[in-house]
Structure 1
Amino acid sequence: MKHPQTTKRLLLTAALAAMLPLGMAAGAQAAGSLTLSSPQDPGSWDPIDTFLVNWSSVATNIYDGLVYRGPDLKLQPALATEWQVLDEGKRLRFKLREGVTFHNGEPFNANAVKFTFDRLLGEDGKKGPQRSNYTVIDRINIIDDYTVDFVLKQPDPVLLTKLSGYGAMIMPPKYVAEHDEAHVNANPVGTGPFRMTAYDPKVSVTLEAFADHWGGAPKLDTVTYRFIPEPATAVAELQAGRVDIVVPPTIPISMVDTIKADDRLEVVSVTSPTVYALRFNTRDGITADERVRKALIMAVDRKTIIDAILGGQASQIASFQSELSFGYDPAMKPLPYDPEAAKALLKEAGVAPGAAVQIDIRGNDATFAEVSQAVASYLGMVGVTATIKPYETNVLLNDIIPQGRSGAMFQQKWGGWTLDYDNTAYLMYHTGERWNPYDSDPKLDALLERQRSMTDPAAREKVLQGIAAYAADRALEMPLFNLNEIFGVSKRVKGFVAPPDNRIRLTDVTVD
């Protein structure tokens, strides 16, 4: 007969075992749960539907690509174990990892790779913003179950990096075929280290460790992302211990010292590729005139804005890229702050004092709201009356800007996640692109197309630098600053490495 205390312990052990997450063996050390605050629900978890960094900060844990770029910004094998560049860059051969399964049990193989890219480049992909990043791909040839060739229309020096993110995440063919678009959008299935087990739109998502991940099971049991657009609320939840990490760009500069003052918390700030600008409507109103655009740039003291509002967490930019970007020219200087020259240009362009412009911004970006107020004040000093119109982020990015319905100026934040100016410049300046609803410049189009086929890095870099100079000469935007990625982190979190591109992989993270 067992002793009553022994029986009690056995019952308790059985109860605890029943509560263990799927795939976790009884007796394994539970690593706990992590909660993150993210400012935005991307609205769809399908890789072909999105361009949002906040999508990637979640989905990097759900999906894998053929290659992976870590916090050190170096490419490494993922679903492909190796690759070769063949035919003078017009063909890439990938050897695929064997024994990998999707979260639904479907096998990963060459067919999944071909399906993913046929879908991205087909009718489904046309509906989303990712397709244009991959149109250099002519077709995918299956060599055998674990070998594929990417046959390209021309060499693309950035393609390998593109394959590490966003639209290139590998999808399960059978699952996608069996479910409609709305279901796939809300119920992502990948091969990543976590699988999504719950999604409450605009509230939260819950991820559970995928024990069968090819790289080994994550150390955490569960991860919850809460969508908290209000910065003060997110920081309050961090202070209260209900959130462990606040993801950029939530934390306003004004709240950095508040976090630093709490000995249970820390601020982790890293140089990032993220740049901010006010882009111009070059089609309508007074900003259709290049002289006016240059005047508005020179009217604003961008250095003072960085010093006074951003607290040293940013640097000034001359073009719409950071110093991490291939194509960055350190010799390029921004237009100077010169209000008298600005007034002269406005007069030359026939702009009467009191002329009005509207600045459209993301409503949940508290720091940029301060910046835009400062910009409006500077414009007022040269006789231009600026009003600021905040939008819900998804409305601004999915409707107002792409449909060409913005005011004279609109906030553009860009991660430049490939660390190559092509990924910014082509999408911002090429005729017909989503982020270029107003402008068409044949000379710029030709330069953008030319650099994509160049295989000599030094020569290509010169062309990219020329594109940056040309865009600046035409004053297509008011370049503002390159802002650090600022994370608020509880000290109970261990093993977290802040990625410069905000693509957070949580495989090795634990909590005390």
Structure 2
Amino acid sequence: MNRRDLLISAGLAPLALQALSRWSVAEAQDGSRIFTLANPTGFPDLDPSTSFSNDGLVLANVYESLTRYVPGTTEAPASVAPLLAESWQATDGGKTWTFTLRKGVRFHDGTELTAEAVKGSIERTMKIGGGAAFIWSAVTAITAPDPLTVVFSLSTAQPLDLIASAGFAGWIISPAAQAQDNAWFNAGQDGGTGPFRIDSYEPGQRVIASRFADHWGGTPEGGFDTAVFEVVEDSVLAQSMIESGNADWTYSLPFDNLEAMKANPDLQVVANPSFENLFALLNTRRAPLDRPRVRQALALAFPYDDVITAGTAGLGTRSRGIVPPGIWGHDPEAPMVMTDLEAARALLAEEGLADSGLELTLTYVTSDALEALAGELWKANLETLGITLTLQPMAWEAMWDLSKADPAQAQDILLLYWWATYVTPYDYLFNLFHSEETPTFNLAYYSNPAFDRLIDEAAALSGTDRAKAEDMFKAAQRMMIEDAPAVFILDKPNVHILRSDVKGYADNPAYGHVVFVNDLSR
């Protein structure tokens, strides 16, 4: 019996009981009307203006945006669908956008959705300037000529219908909640229009949300009355919960367990291409990683094919830069770094680091089996080069705090996933690599003014000359591959596990690991 079998047989039953005993919703109502999500990370920020992390799973069920992205199929292209806005039109060459709001929508506090509420929501997000507020950077003015009409004036032509579908920073907030601060939202209160309202929030443990009876969209037959967002950092426990019926949905389980789960009649395994990728951010502010050739050597030492084969059961694919396939601006001809230990050794020697006893620290999320495997395999390769890689698994919130502190005291290498804020290459390039004084997601602490100018100019052209903008985004990606602030590992499939009696589930890759619970029934 291996260590994993011992964990399953000896440890999971009490762990599961402990996790489930902390809330008593099931005792109060029919358990079949509760949808439990076993999420591998916590929800660090429930303020809809500043949230920019895994908390999107919760907020997408509590708040709504003006529009929603609809993925394309082989029969139909991707599109943008109405949500709080019924219709919209662009004029002035794409620099003025007019949205007509849906009638009869109410916030959870009972007030009606109006154009002034939309205006105030987005102005609050823009004023705070945190999280994904950059999506509104082209907005110069918002007006509300009547209660159901919102007009946006832009500095440059932009696809505002697509921007308004973003999974972060596009949420519409009630006027009363707009006046509250970040602490108010993170005390478990909300001001949304969504199908669920927050009842309680225990940081690091769970969010419990109940159905909002006055939601404009109604309730599907057999729909759920309660959504429980459980933080389950132990992937073994998460698998036990989904197999036993103590959870209805989870992800980030080891890929080598998928075949057994597919054979389980109580489960359904949903796998599809995603807009998500895995990469390693290298601390460009700390020696010797402040030297591009040292960073290039680390990229050459990474075991790409081994990680894809062992870690994703072959379902992942090699990344070509940071923008994944399926998003315009992806560069299918971008150079791909191959594992070459001898080439890595030569670069290190040229930099005076041959057999230097270099020691590096890599951080990753405790619950993530793929990240753990990637770290272990990379560590083995680096040992042959005389480099010691210390692996430091951490809870997401702790890793987040460490990486956003002083770069001189932060990790050397951070493993991170990214998925689209909205479907544009600028999202990946700006958030992860644009220069910034205070680090948000540029956790390589990378700064290259030429790169910044290129992607900013490309973003400004996105609404008027898509082809030229795409060429500029591709050039920026090649510049970054050469400069190597990150090791681009793999484009990751979305694999979600659900109970077999859950109906209506369809993954939307534009919203990374988000479940729209109101679409589901049992």
Assess same fold via TM > 0.5: yes
Contact 1:402 1:435 in 2 (8 A): no
Change (3 A) 1:367 1:222: same
How far apart are the structure 2 equivalents of 1:464 and 1:381?
36
Task: Give the deviation of 1:481 after TM superposition.
Answer: 0.6
Instruction: Name the residue aligned to 2:331.
Output: 329
Greater shift in the superposed pair: 55-64 or 108-117? 55-64
Contact 1:163-1:169 at 8 Å conserved across structures:
no
1:485 paired with 2:494, answer: yes
1:395 is matched with which residue?
Answer: 398
Distance 1:200 1:231, change over 3 A: same
User: Quick one: which amino acid aligns to residue 276 of structure 2?
Assistant: T
Residues 309-348 of structure 1: matches in 2 within 5 Å? 309-348=311-350
Q: 1:83 aligns with which of 79, 84, 88?
A: 88
Question: Residue 38 of structure 1 corresponds to which residue in structure 2?
Answer: 39
Deviation at 1:87, TM superposition (A): 1.7
Q: Structure 1: how far apart are the matches of 2:281 and 2:139?
A: 30
| Contact 2:455–2:476, Cα closer than 8 Å, also in 1 | yes
What is the distance in 1 between the residues matched to 2:330 and 2:145?
A: 39
Structure-1 residue corresponding to 2:295: 293
Does the 8 A contact of 1:260 with 1:267 survive in 2? yes
Q: 1:398 & 1:136 partners in 2: Cα distance? A: 30
Q: Could you tell which deviates more after superposition, 280-289 or 403-412?
A: 403-412
Letter aligned with residue 139 of structure 2: I
Aligned partners of 2:166, 2:389: CA distance in 1, in Å?
Answer: 41
Whether contact under 8 Å (1:325, 1:420) holds in the other structure is yes
1:76-111 alpha-carbon deviations (Å, 9 max, x no partner): 011111111122222211111121100110111011
TM-aligned CA deviation for residue 137 of structure 1: 1.4
1:419-462 CA-partner distances (Å, limit 9, x unpaired): 32100101122111622352221111110110111021111111
Separation (CA, whole Å) in 2 of partners of 1:242 and 1:194: 21
1:105 aligns with 2:110: yes
Q: Distance in 2 between matches of 1:294 and 1:306?
A: 20
1:298-321 residue CA offsets vs partner (Å, 9 max, x unmatched): 112201221122211211102012
For 1:59-458, what aligned pairs fall within 5 Å after superposition?
Answer: 59-70=59-70, 74-122=79-127, 125-126=128-129, 128-157=130-159, 160-177=162-179, 179-185=180-186, 186-218=188-220, 219-246=223-250, 248=251, 250-353=252-355, 354-401=357-404, 403-404=406-407, 405-432=409-436, 434-436=440-442, 438-454=445-461, 455-458=464-467
> Aligned partners of 2:353 and 2:450: how far apart in 1?
28
Paired residue secondary structure (1:287): coil
Pairwise CA distance, 1:268: 1.3
Relative distance call for 1:315 and 1:331 in structure 2 (3 A) is same
Query: How far has the Cα of 1:189 moved from its partner?
Result: 2.4
The aligned counterpart of 2:56 is 56
Kept after mapping to 1: 8 A contact 2:271/2:493: yes
Counterpart code for 1:64: E
Q: Could you say which residue in structure 2 is the equivalent of 1:468? A: 477
Cα distance in 2 for residues equivalent to 1:435 and 1:164: 17
- Distance in 2 of aligned mates of 1:496 and 1:291: 46
CA shift for structure 1 position 31:
7.4
3-state SS of 2:299 partner: helix
Does the 8 Å CA contact 1:56/1:503 hold for their aligned counterparts?
yes
Question: For the pair shown, which has the larger CA radius of gyration, 1 or 2?
Answer: 1
How many angstroms does 1:64 deviate by? 0.8
Tell me the SS of whatever aligns to 1:43.
Answer: coil
CA contact (8 A) 1:75 1:161 kept: no
Residue by residue over 1:333-389, the C-alpha shift from the partner in whole angstroms, topping out at 9 and shown as x without a partner, is 311221111111111111131222221222221221111111111111222221112
Q: Would the alpha carbon gap of residues 379 and 450 (structure 1) be closer, same or farther in structure 2, given more than 3 Å must change?
A: same
The Cα shift of 1:242 comes to 1.0
Q: TM-score of the superposition, structure 1-length normalised? A: 0.88
Name the CA distance, whole Å, in 1 between partners of 2:310 and 2:449. Answer: 40
SS of 2:497's equivalent?
strand
Q: Distance in 1 between matches of 2:362 and 2:41?
A: 21
Structure 2 CA distance for aligned equivalents of residues 300 and 229 of structure 1: 26
**In the superposition, relative to structure 1, how do residues 410 and 493 fare at CA in structure 2: closer, same or farther (>3 Å)?**
same
- Alpha-carbon distance between aligned partners in 2 of 1:31 and 1:85, rounded to the nearest angstrom: 45
Aligned-residue Cα RMSD (Å) equals 2.1
> Contact 1:194 / 1:208 at 8 angstroms: preserved in 2?
yes
In the superposition, the TM-score normalised over structure 2's length comes to 0.87
Amino acid at match of 1:484: P
* Whole-angstrom distance in 2 between the partners of 1:92 and 1:344: 55
Pair 1:228–1:86, CA change in 2 (3 A): same
Count residues in correspondence. 478
**Aligned counterparts of 1:184 and 1:357: Cα–Cα separation in 2:** 38
Q: Contact 1:282–1:288 at 8 Å: present in 2 too? A: yes
* Aligned AA (2:515): I
The residue identity in structure 1 corresponding to 2:285 is: R
Residue 510 of structure 1 corresponds to: 521
**Alpha-carbon offset, residue 159 of structure 1:** 6.4
Match of 1:481, SS state, is strand
Identify unmatched segments of 5+ residues in structure 1: 1-18, 22-29
Structure-2 residue corresponding to 1:9: none
Structure 2: which amino acid aligns with 1:483?
Answer: K
Shift of 1:71: 5.5
Aligned twin of 1:8 = none
Contact 2:57 2:514 in 1 (8 A): yes
Give 1:291 deviation, angstroms: 0.9
User: CA 1:202 to 1:434, structure 2 compared with 1: closer, same or farther past 3 Å?
Assistant: closer
Distance across 2 between alignment mates of 1:64 and 1:452: 25
Contact 1:285 1:408 in 2 (8 A): no
